[in-house]
């Protein structure tokens, strides 16, 4: 695929991943460690992330590797459990002796790994959503996805356009859902929005009709906003329809996958959510710099795996591209030098948007990286 990566002073157009290629020799491999939720409740995140990393590492190695060195990818499946993520991160650093980390499918597993990355001074690019991962800034930690705060701001901006001023919230009570809930409460007032009903659920709850009934009966509610990922938002969406709630329903970017639509069925029709351009490449303007990137990535992924691409796969692609570009610029796998070069990432056009990091911004995405989508007849429709 084609992408524009800022290697430093000059931008270089790369075909496939061959910009990283050199003549493979007997040099030690570049070791990338990854903790991913390949199984368990967050497998819809971790499985496409793992496939993406493996696909591109294999391709890069066939093209000669990076600086004449092959890449060795070491992946552990944490099953979505924070304690496993911590154990595997320790193993990757101490036993596998990886040069850097790419992974952390969820906020919980990422935050379990963060102290180890920081203490051992290992660059870590997270694939999870919560703003707490990079705010406050942590020296050795970066992330590729948009934050929960950005998602809340995009949703509230759309609500404001529709004249919505009072809403009900229903959120997962842990990890990404809790962080998203807390960030929503912090920024809602900036958009003239009052949260008049506020309910939570557990990721394992099979039904949330009780919570939604309370929201339905709350005075003045004009829309409902759900923050969570996995099966939870699909259950919320189905129960929402079953209760006949005739209000707009918003979800976060945590459901930006066709898996959500499949789980929620026709109840998903009308749901709005913020998402990256990766899920709607055909609908992007021809002049959008992301269009060729996301179009090519979609083709690569769907050709290789015969399944719909998701934004989560794109997070892994961006993490790998940013990491390898940093290694190439550093001309080394020295952890401190690579960390510095990741932080200098500028003008990278990825599946998530245009990325320009800095010492005070370890994500590098602006609010413009988000689009507002609506689900209609089982598919995404760009509305903003």
Domain holding 297, by residue range, is 30-146+290-365
Helix (H, G, I), strand (E, B), or coil: what is residue 210? helix
How many residues does this entry show for the chain? 384
333 and 348 in one domain? yes
123 and 229 in one domain? no
Taking a C-beta distance cutoff of 8 angstroms, is the pair 88, 35 a contact? yes
pLDDT band of 203, cuts 50, 70, 90: confident
Angle between helices 209-217 and 231-242 in degrees, nearest 10: 50
Tell me the pLDDT tens digit for each residue of 112-124: 999 999 999 999 9
131 and 84 in one domain? yes
Residue 250's closest CA among 222, 273, 218, 276? 273
376 and 264 in one domain? yes
Q: Is the pLDDT of residue 14 over 90?
A: no
207 and 192 in one domain? yes
Q: Give the model's pLDDT for residue 26.
A: 52
Asked if residue 328 belongs to a domain, the reply is yes
What span, in angstroms and rounded, lies between the C-alpha atoms of 144 and 135?
Answer: 14
Place of tokens 């920024």: 187
Question: If you average pLDDT over residues 40-65, what whole number do you get?
Answer: 96
* Domain tally, the chain: 2
381: tokens are 């429709």
Task: State the pairing for strand pair 371-376/272-275.
Answer: antiparallel
269 and 187 in one domain? yes
Q: Is the pLDDT of residue 170 over 90?
A: yes
Burial of 65 (0-12, 13-18, 19+ CB in 10 A): buried
Taking a C-beta distance cutoff of 8 angstroms, is the pair 382, 371 a contact? yes
Residue 361, beta-bridge partner list = 358
What span, in angstroms and rounded, lies between the C-alpha atoms of 352 and 345?
Answer: 14
Contacts of 24 (CB under 8 A, 6+ apart): 61, 64, 65, 68, 69, 70
Asked if residue 1 belongs to a domain, the reply is no
Dihedral angle sign, alpha carbons of residues 91, 96, 102, 103: negative
Asked if residue 119 belongs to a domain, the reply is yes
Asked if residue 5 belongs to a domain, the reply is no
For the beta carbon of residue 291, count every other beta carbon within 10 angstroms: 17
- CATH code of the domain covering residue 138: 3.40.50.2300
Asked if residue 22 belongs to a domain, the reply is no
Model pTM score:
0.88
321 and 215 in one domain? no
321 and 259 in one domain? no
Asked if residue 45 belongs to a domain, the reply is yes
94 and 81 in one domain? yes
Q: Give the model's pLDDT for residue 367.
A: 85
116 and 133 in one domain? yes
pLDDT band of 263, cuts 50, 70, 90: very high
């Amino acid at each position: 695929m084609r992408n524009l990566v800022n290697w430093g002073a000059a931008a270089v157009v790369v075909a496939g991943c061959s910009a990283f290629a050199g003549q493979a020799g007997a040099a030690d491999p570049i070791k990338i460690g990854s903790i991913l939720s390949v199984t368990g409740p967050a497998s819809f995140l971790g499985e496409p992330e793992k496939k993406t990393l493996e696909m591109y590492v294999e391709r890069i190695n066939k093209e000669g590797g990076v600086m004449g060195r092959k890449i060795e990818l070491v992946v552990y499946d944490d099953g979505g459990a924070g304690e496993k993520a911590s154990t595997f991160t320790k193993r990757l650093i101490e036993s596998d002796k990886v040069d850097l980390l790419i992974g952390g499918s969820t906020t919980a597993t990422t935050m379990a790994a963060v102290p180890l990355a920081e203490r051992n001074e290992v660059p870590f690019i997270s694939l999870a959503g919560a703003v707490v991962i990079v705010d406050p800034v942590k020296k050795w930690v970066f992330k590729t996805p948009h934050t929960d705060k950005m998602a809340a701001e995009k949703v509230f901006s759309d609500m404001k356009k529709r004249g919505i001023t009072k809403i009900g919230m229903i959120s997962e009570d842990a990890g990404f859902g809790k962080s998203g809930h807390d960030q929503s409460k912090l920024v809602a007032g900036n958009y003239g929005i009052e949260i008049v009903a506020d309910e939570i659920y557990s990721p394992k709850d099979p039904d949330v009709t009780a919570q939604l009934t309370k929201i339905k009966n709350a005075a003045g509610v004009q829309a409902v906003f759900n923050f969570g990922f996995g099966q939870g938002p699909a259950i919320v969406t189905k129960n929402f329809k079953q209760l006949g709630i005739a209000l707009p329903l918003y979800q976060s970017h945590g459901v930006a996958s066709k898996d959500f639509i499949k789980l929620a069925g026709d109840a998903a029709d009308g749901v709005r959510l913020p998402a990256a351009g990766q899920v709607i490449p055909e609908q992007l303007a021809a002049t959008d710099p992301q269009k060729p990137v996301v179009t090519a990535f979609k083709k690569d992924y769907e050709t290789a795996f015969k399944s719909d691409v998701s934004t989560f796969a794109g997070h892994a692609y961006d993490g790998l591209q940013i990491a390898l570009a940093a290694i190439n610029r550093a001309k080394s796998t020295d952890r401190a030098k690579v960390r510095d070069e990741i932080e200098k990432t500028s003008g990278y056009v990825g599946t998530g948007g245009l990325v320009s990091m800095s010492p005070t911004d370890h994500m590098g995405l602006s609010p413009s990286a988000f689009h507002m989508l609506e689900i209609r007849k089982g598919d995404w429709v760009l509305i903003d």
